[in-house]
Amino acid sequence: MDPFHKQQTDDDGKTFEVTHHLDCRGMTCPMPALKSLERSTAMTPGEILEVVGDWPGSKFEVPYAVADRKGLEVVRIIESDQPDDETWWIYIRRS
């Protein structure tokens, strides 16, 4: 799986266009969540941020931080299917 994607499919099978990327690989908690919130709240409605990271705890912390913010929603979370690869991708939509 490439680290960045132009198009992705949500859990309902609908295709969406990725408009922003944030590479958090190498960052530990709480930086991926803080950077994700900073970038996603600066987006305009309809834009989607792809966050890629490799810190296992942040795979849970980023969606949790976004869930309480009005106007933001997590539309998909993907984990690497490669053995011993902790990489994850989280897609956040500004509504």
Q: Which of the residues are catalytic?
A: 29
Tokens of 45: 């409605």
Long-range CB contact pairs, 78-85, < 8 A, 24+:
78/1, 80/1, 81/1, 82/1, 85/54
Between CA 81 and CA 61 the distance in angstroms is 20
Which helix (H) or strand (E) segment holds residue 74: the answer is strand 72-79
